[in-house]
Amino acid sequence: MQAGPRNKAETLEYLQAMLGQLLGMAKSERCEMLAYFIEMAYIECSDTIRQERPGGSALVPLHQQ
């Protein structure tokens, strides 16, 4: 992550990418409850991105991560 000012969309995109990676790690270690909470955060981030974008599309569907 780069230092300096960024806009909300960039921050949300970064968070979504990191949450996707964390989710994969939690699932691979069979940490079901942790994976569930990370997935909820990922979905919330995706919903926020969708609301912020004019076209209403989120970045990457979770199953493609």
Residues 62, 44: contact at Cβ < 8 Å? no
Q: What is the spatial distance between Cα 6 and Cα 8, in angstroms, rounded to a whole number?
A: 7
Other CB atoms within a 10 A radius of the CB of residue 16 amount to 22
Handedness of CA 52, 10, 47, 62 (dihedral sign): positive
Q: What angle do CA 55, 57, 63 make, to 5 degrees?
A: 165
Q: What is the mean pLDDT of residues 16-23?
A: 96
* Average pLDDT taken over every residue of the chain: 85
Q: pLDDT confidence of 62, banded at 50, 70, 90? A: low
For residues 33-60, average pLDDT: 85
pTM of the predicted model as reported, rounded to 2 decimal places:
0.75
**What pLDDT is recorded for position 53?**
78
pLDDT at 54: 74
